[in-house]
């Protein structure tokens, strides 16, 4: 299993605040992903990166932004949080160099915006 | 885009029972993964199985890519098997590497 970490695990903040969700992986994976999941629902891809300085928007439109300055780090930022952003955010990574491209997921961040 | 459908949506079992979960997908896929999401929200890899059959303890999975479905078998279920089981696929081409998830099967195992 890959080692992939997310902080914070839980976050409750007020409307209008700027937040950054952290995601790091120690396996040297070139690809990283952010998914959004509402309770009891399927996951939707919101951002992905195929390497340093590469970021793309996913299938679900999101007001968040991401950056990939280092291979191991893929933070997600919300400039002004709103209650509609309340959800679980899951980070994942994979390595195209190993042939299987299996994605491994972090523990997630549960975000509540009041 | 590719569509992924899982069945049944909900499943309730007594401990010790066996079950089969199904995943249908609408187009050719390069890869397919099964996950278990525990009550704390963590997604745990069960199988990477674009084709063929794999087994891991009480769990096994079979993917028939030509017929566009995959099955997850759980034998002698335990209460710790409870949670949501997701199937996810890679559609390939320009979307290579991006997982599309099914809506999940919620499994509840009673003691």
Q: What is the mean pLDDT of chain A?
A: 91
How confident is residue B28, by pLDDT bands cut at 50, 70 and 90? confident
CA of A27 vs chain B CAs: smallest distance (Å): 16
- The answer to whether the CB of B57 falls within 8 A of the CB of B49 is no
In angstroms, the separation between the Cα of residue A16 and the nearest Cα of chain B is 26
The string of pLDDT tens digits covering residues B42-62 is 899 999 998 999 999 999 999
**Interval B106-110 mean pLDDT:** 96
Contacts of B100 in chain A (CB under 8 A): 45, 59
Please provide residue A99's backbone torsions phi and psi, each rounded to the nearest 5 degrees. Answer: 90, -35
Question: What's the CA gap between B60 and B76, in Å, rounded?
Answer: 12
pLDDT greater than 80 at residue A71: yes
Min Cα–Cα distance to chain B from A101, Å? 7
Backbone angles phi, psi at B77, to 5 degrees: -60, 150
Q: Do A108 and B31 touch (CB under 8 A)?
A: no
Residue of A nearest to B98 (CA): A45
């Amino acid at each position: 299993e890959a080692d992939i970490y997310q902080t914070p695990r839980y976050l409750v903040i007020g409307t209008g605040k700027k937040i950054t969700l952290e995601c790091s992986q120690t396996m040297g994976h070139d690809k990283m992903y952010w998914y959004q999941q509402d309770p009891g629902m399927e996951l939707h891809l919101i951002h992905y990166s195929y390497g340093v300085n590469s970021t793309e928007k996913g299938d679900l439109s999101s007001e968040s932004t991401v950056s990939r300055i280092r291979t191991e780090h893929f933070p997600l930022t919300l400039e002004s949080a709103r209650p509609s952003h309340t959800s679980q955010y899951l980070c994942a990574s994979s390595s195209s160099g190993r042939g299987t491209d299996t994605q491994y997921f972090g523990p997630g961040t549960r975000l509540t915006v009041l | 885009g590719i569509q992924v459908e899982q069945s049944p949506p909900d499943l309730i079992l007594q401990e010790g029972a066996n079950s089969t979960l199904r995943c249908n997908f609408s187009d050719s896929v390069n890869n397919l993964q099964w996950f278990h999401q525990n009550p704390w929200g963590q997604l745990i890899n069960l199988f990477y199985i674009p084709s063929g059959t794999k087994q891991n303890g009480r769990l096994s999975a079979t993917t028939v890519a030509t017929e566009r479905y995959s099955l997850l078998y759980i034998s002698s279920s335990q209460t710790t098997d409870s949670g949501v089981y997701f199937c996810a696929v890679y559609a390939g081409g320009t979307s290579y590497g991006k997982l599309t998830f099914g809506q999940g099967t919620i499994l509840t195992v009673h003691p």
